[in-house]
Amino acid sequence: MTNEGNDKRPKPPYPTFVQVKTEADNKLFEDIYSVVKAAYGSTFVSEVSKNRIRFLMKDDRNVGIGTFEMLPYQPEVETNIELYYPFSTHPAVLAIRENAHVFEIGKLAFVEDKRNIGLISSFVDFIFKIAKQHHIDYFICAMNIEIYRFLVFKHKIVMKKLDKKLDFGEFGTYPVIIDIQESLKRAADTV
């Protein structure tokens, strides 16, 4: 899915994505996310989701360098994404929920000294792998504008922007739907 042929930088042999299963890993997740969130001036406090699946990104020395969380999109049961934007009432979201398996993404964060080294490319590969494992058709999220641009223009990820920029975080965010199947088709067409 990545476009590494155009990237002249050597691809790091990491990160590995480790599912958070222990209290120690959960504390590390919270510590990393809190530091990154504070660096961007965010004061948002999300709810603890019972059905969340959390991952730590670790480098080649097994040091935590980032976070990623996802959970089945069930706003009537639990959700963090609805705190950013009313996804559940948007016509595009209503349409995909009828016949598709939808997850929400949140808490994507990279420690400062590991940004701009190609971790987004590894993340893209990982979300497609995890989508296949969990039979996910779509992800919804409030996406940082800089990451949105990178995913759309470099990786050709198919996304639907649901609204104008939301004033959240340093760069702002877009409420988006990520279409996994269409992104995979586009990737296959460009190879």
The full set of domains in the chain, from first to last, is: 4-190 (3.40.630.30)
Q: Is the separation of the CB atoms in 150 and 124 below 8 Å?
A: no
Give the chain's mean pLDDT: 85
Of the two residues 10 and 32, the one the predictor is more confident about is: 32
What does the pLDDT read at residue 42?
66
What does the pLDDT read at residue 54?
95
Total Cβ atoms within 10 A of residue 147: 17
What does the pLDDT read at residue 43?
59
Strand partners, 66: 57, 110
With CA atoms as reference, report the closest residue to 125 among 22, 25, 11, 31.
11
What does the pLDDT read at residue 2?
46
Q: What percent of the chain has pLDDT over 70?
A: 84
Of the two residues 9 and 49, the one the predictor is more confident about is: 49
70 CB burial (10 A radius; 0-12, 13-18, 19+) = buried
Q: How confident is the model at residue 5 (pLDDT cuts 50, 70, 90)?
A: very low
Name, in order, each residue with C-beta under 8 angstroms of 34's C-beta and a sequence gap of 6 or more. Answer: none
Amino acid at 162: L
Q: What percent of the chain has pLDDT over 90?
A: 46
Interatomic CA distance for residues 139 and 143, integer angstroms:
11
Q: How confident is the model at residue 77 (pLDDT cuts 50, 70, 90)?
A: confident
Give the mean pLDDT of 152-166: 91
Give the mean pLDDT of 16-39: 90
Q: How confident is the model at residue 145 (pLDDT cuts 50, 70, 90)?
A: confident
What does the pLDDT read at residue 53?
93
What does the pLDDT read at residue 117?
64
- Residue 39 has which token pair? 């660096």
Amino acid at 87: F
Which pTM was predicted? Answer: 0.85
